[in-house]
């Protein structure tokens, strides 16, 4: 069935051939050989005439907290949603610690995703409302903040909530007048900031599921404006009207759409603090294997996954991908959200993007639906109202970790009883969501998210294309407009490839252009996962385009690009690497009978990490354990291959 272009279930018009428009449906599209023969026929002289596909990515943050989140407020955040939107639009603001802050460039969109649980509580708490402070625990937290121990108070509040011990008599739930008032203020701030065509302010919130400290948060994003989002109040995790179970959140999402006629989706939080519960095969809530209903509901509502953010990167882990020399990147693998339980190696498989995609293939073969068929985004999860993901402009995870000479050496999270500690220097300046939308509007960006035409970056705003088909060749890579071939001969990131024509293997058109104010590019890799004939999952990382004249060694690995970082001066030079990479690549190990997925990973040359910028600015000498440089990267949404039945 074909719907109007750029609706939830359709793909943008791919090209115009003498007035005849070809439209593909089903998410980001499914390649058919019938359409391949129509590519390029009768195109006008101007390659841009009639163009009706996304021409540039839009960059934003789908996960930002303000002072309205009770943990952010307790940690010192004093900026609200309106401040967050001003900052995202490129205005200079004064941070909660009194420091001027401004982005290098405005963002294109923002989701203020304050916690749904206890919405409105912190405002009343800090106002010293007697009905809150008569609770002994609340009074203790209040006194800690007043005495300058905000960080300690914030951590105590987080631990108490995550362990299900938050005082029930002071919990703010939907129906509470203060709760309703704050939700309406969040909606009003988004409506005021929304400027179609220039800046998109989404209405949203974070559903804060914590089961014994294991992080199962989801960010809920509405396509709609306040006229529909204002008809409801957010879903929470506290019984009797809330729940920690994602199945109940999915029911709430359906009820919202049924009640309002609106559209909504949920983005799962980076899973590396879930202690093996984010991507289950066996549900932690029931102890049973996930069933078809779970698979269908998760695939329906959670079309995107937050693969990188300030609390570490979630693409893969060296334990899971020992042959991937780039898997050990900003890993957080010590424990769960509040460090109440240690991480064990068996948990990792159910926390990381690549292993989830592989298990998704297994579950699809068994259940008929892939619950982990998601696209990728990055976002900050900043609790400061400041969406900063640039290493030279990093304002920290929480307000107590805004720029200062001490923030690198101050523990961010700690549990002395278990000997667990995450230091301030281990937080990551990451990331952003990149969306291939035709217009900078709620509808267009949301629809692109639904069809998974997105990618994640750890901060830099490189332009990344990833198309799959069966007919790409070198000539398609020898062009300034690879998207024309990409959309007419294949499908973009987030799409599907059906059964391979006889004698053909999937081909991929890959392209990346550096961020103009960031580093050159090292390489473009394609990551493949597949099921063999016995149902076992495998993975392989292929270098498909790279800078310079490097050649793979006997082990098949491409030599490192080099390193120009001057740590002492927090600088580097673009004398290595390439400004752009483009290639057409064919899977050399393709088996048409095997389910598979492919996604792109683009690496920059090494650059200074935020810790190096801090050391330079404050004249610090940091310990040898501190990471001082890194290779920033982008991850595209996958393209899936499904064989004939």
Report yes or no on 25 lying in a domain. no
Are 328 and 367 part of one and the same domain? yes
How confident is the model over 440-465, as pLDDT tens digits? 999 999 999 999 999 999 999 999 99
What pLDDT, on the 0 to 100 scale, is given for residue 439? Answer: 97
Same domain as 491, residue 428: no
Identify whether 14 is part of a domain. Answer: no
SS3 264: strand
Q: Which of 586, 353, 580 is nearest to 490 (CA)?
A: 586
Amino acid 41: pLDDT: 58
Reply yes or no on whether the pLDDT at 479 is more than 50: yes
Mean pLDDT of the chain: 92
| Beta pairing class for 580-586 and 629-630 | unpaired
Peptide bond into 193 cis (omega under 30): no
Say if 636 falls within a structural domain: yes
The tens digit of pLDDT for each residue in 140-190 reads 999 998 998 887 888 888 889 888 889 999 999 999 999 999 999 999 999
pLDDT tens-digit series, residues 233-260:
999 999 999 999 999 999 999 999 999 9
Instruction: Please give the pLDDT value at position 44.
Output: 81
More confident residue, 211 or 314: 314
The answer to whether position 165 is within a domain reads no
Residues 427 and 499 in one domain: no
Taking alpha carbons only, the member of 400, 634, 460 closest to residue 104 is: 460
| pLDDT band at residue 512 using 50, 70 and 90 as cut-offs | very high
The pLDDT tens digits for 29-82 are: 665 545 544 544 567 888 788 888 999 999 999 999 999 999 999 889 999 999
> Do 271 and 374 share a domain, yes or no?
yes
Burial class (CB in 10 A: 0-12, 13-18, 19+), 519: buried
Q: What integer pLDDT is reported at residue 172 of this predicted model? A: 93
How is the chain split among helix, strand and coil, in percent rounded to 5?
25, 25, 50
pLDDT score at 408: 97
Q: Which of 10-14, 144-148, 604-608 has the highest mean pLDDT?
A: 604-608
Predicted confidence (pLDDT) per residue in 529-541, tens digit? 999 999 999 999 9
Task: Determine the pLDDT at residue 13.
Answer: 33
* Same domain for 403 and 510: no
Same domain assignment for residues 470 and 431: no
DSSP secondary structure, 550-594, as one string: ----TTSPPPP-----BGGGTB---SSSBSEEEEEEE-TT--TTS
> Which of 170-179, 186-195, 324-333, 586-595 bottoms out in mean pLDDT, i.e. has the lowest?
170-179
**Same domain for 487 and 406:** no
In which band, very low, low, confident or very high, does the pLDDT at 476 lie, cut at 50, 70 and 90?
very high
Distances (CA, A) of 529 to 298, 326, 509, 587, 598: 21, 16, 18, 12, 7
Residues 487 and 356 in one domain: no
pLDDT, position 38? 53
Model pLDDT, residue 157: 87
Of 81, 86, 88, 82, which is closest to residue 61 (Cα–Cα)?
88
Which pLDDT value is given to residue 85? 98
276 belongs to a structural domain: yes
Position 6 confidence tier, pLDDT thresholds 50, 70, 90? very low
Residue 401 DSSP class: G
My answer on whether 345 and 475 are in the same domain is no
* Range(s) of the domain holding residue 322: 58-120+172-435
- pLDDT tier at 556, thresholds 50, 70, 90: confident
Query: Do 353 and 204 sit in the same domain of this protein?
Result: yes
- Residues 470, 418, single domain; the answer is no
Mean pLDDT of 310-324: 97
Q: How far apart are CA 16 and CA 414, in angstroms?
A: 58
For tokens 């609390």, the residue is: 311
Query: pLDDT-derived band of residue 16, with 50, 70 and 90 as boundaries?
Result: very low
pLDDT at 645: 84
* pLDDT at res. 50: 83
Q: Is residue 145 part of a domain?
A: no
**Structurally, how many domains does the chain consist of?**
2
Domain for residue 443, yes or no? no
How far from the centroid of its chain's Cα atoms is residue 420's Cα? 26
Report yes or no on 158 lying in a domain.
Answer: no
| 645 close to 583: Cβ distance less than 8 angstroms | no
Question: What is the tens place of the pLDDT at every residue in 370-387?
Answer: 999 999 999 999 999 999
- For residues 557 and 26, the model is more confident at 557
Last residue within a domain, chosen from 382, 416, 435: 435
Q: How confident is the model at residue 214 (pLDDT cuts 50, 70, 90)?
A: very high
**One domain, residues 591 and 517:** yes
């Amino acid at each position: 069935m074909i719907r109007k272009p750029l609706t939830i279930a359709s793909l943008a018009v791919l090209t115009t051939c003498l007035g005849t428009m070809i439209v593909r449906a089903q998410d980001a599209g499914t390649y058919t050989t019938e359409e391949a023969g129509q590519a390029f026929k009768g195109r006008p002289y101007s390659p841009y005439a009639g163009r009706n596909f996304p021409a540039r990515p839009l960059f934003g943050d789908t996960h930002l907290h303000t002072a309205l989140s009770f943990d952010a407020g307790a940690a010192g955040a004093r900026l609200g949603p309106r401040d967050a939107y001003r900052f995202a639009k490129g205005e200079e603001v004064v941070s909660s610690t009194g420091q001027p802050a401004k982005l290098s460039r405005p963002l294109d969109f923002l989701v203020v995703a304050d916690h749904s649980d206890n919405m409105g509580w912190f405002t009343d708490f800090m106002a010293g409302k007697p009905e809150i402070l008569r609770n002994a625990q609340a009074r203790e937290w209040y006194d800690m903040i007043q005495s300058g121990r905000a960080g300690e108070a914030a951590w105590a509040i987080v631990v108490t909530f995550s362990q299900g011990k938050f005082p029930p008599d002071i919990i703010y739930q939907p129906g509470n007048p203060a709760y309703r008032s704050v939700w309406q203020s969040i909606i009003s701030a988004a409506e005021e900031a929304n400027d179609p065509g220039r800046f998109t302010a989404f209405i949203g919130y974070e559903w804060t599921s914590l089961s014994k400290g294991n992080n199962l948060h989801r960010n809920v994003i509405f396509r709609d404006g306040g006229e529909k989002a204002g008809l409801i109040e957010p879903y929470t995790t506290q019984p009797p009207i809330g729940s920690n179970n994602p199945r109940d959140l999915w029911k709430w999402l359906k009820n919202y759409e049924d009640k309002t006629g609106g559209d909504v989706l949920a983005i799962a939080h980076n899973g590396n603090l879930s202690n093996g519960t984010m991507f289950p095969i066996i549900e932690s809530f029931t102890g049973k294997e996930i069933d078809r209903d779970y698979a269908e509901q998760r695939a329906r509502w959670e079309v995107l996954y937050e693969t990188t953010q300030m609390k570490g990167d979630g693409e893969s882990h060296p334990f899971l991908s020992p042959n991937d020399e780039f898997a050990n990147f900003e890993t957080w693998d010590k424990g769960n959200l509040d460090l109440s339980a240690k991480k064990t190696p068996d948990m990792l498989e159910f926390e990381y993007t690549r292993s989830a995609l592989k298990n998704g293939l297994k579950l699809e073969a068994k259940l008929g639906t892939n619950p982990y068929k998601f696209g990728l985004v990055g976002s900050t999860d900043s609790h400061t109202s400041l969406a900063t993901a640039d290493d030279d402009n990093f304002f920290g995870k929480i307000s107590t970790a805004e720029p200062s000479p001490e923030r690198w050496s101050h523990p961010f999270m700690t549990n002395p009883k278990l000997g667990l500690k995450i230091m301030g220097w281990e937080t990551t300046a990451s990331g952003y969501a990149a969306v291939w939308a035709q217009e900078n509007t709620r509808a267009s960006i949301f629809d692109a998210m639904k069809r998974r035409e997105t990618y994640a970056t750890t901060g830099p705003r490189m332009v990344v294309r990833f198309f799959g088909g069966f007919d790409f060749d070198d000539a398609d890579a020898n062009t300034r407009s690879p998207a024309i071939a990409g959309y007419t001969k294949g499908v973009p990131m987030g799409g599907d490839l059906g059964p391979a024509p006889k004698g053909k293997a999937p081909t991929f058109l890959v392209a990346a252009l550096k961020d103009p104010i960031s580093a050159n590019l090292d390489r473009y890799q394609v990551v493949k996962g597949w099921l063999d004939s016995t149902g076992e999952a495998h993975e392989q990382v292929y270098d498909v385009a790279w800078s310079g004249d490097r050649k793979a060694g006997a082990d098949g690995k491409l030599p490192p690009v080099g390193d120009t970082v001057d740590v002492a001066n927090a600088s580097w030079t673009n004398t290595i690497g390439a400004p752009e990479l483009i290639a057409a690549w064919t899977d050399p190990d393709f088996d048409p009978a095997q389910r598979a997925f492919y996604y792109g990973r683009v690496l920059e040359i090494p650059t200074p990490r935020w810790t190096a910028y801090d050391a330079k600015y404050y004249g610090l000498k940091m310990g040898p354990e501190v990471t001082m440089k890194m290779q920033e990267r982008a991850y595209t949404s996958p393209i899936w291959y499904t064989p004939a039945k």
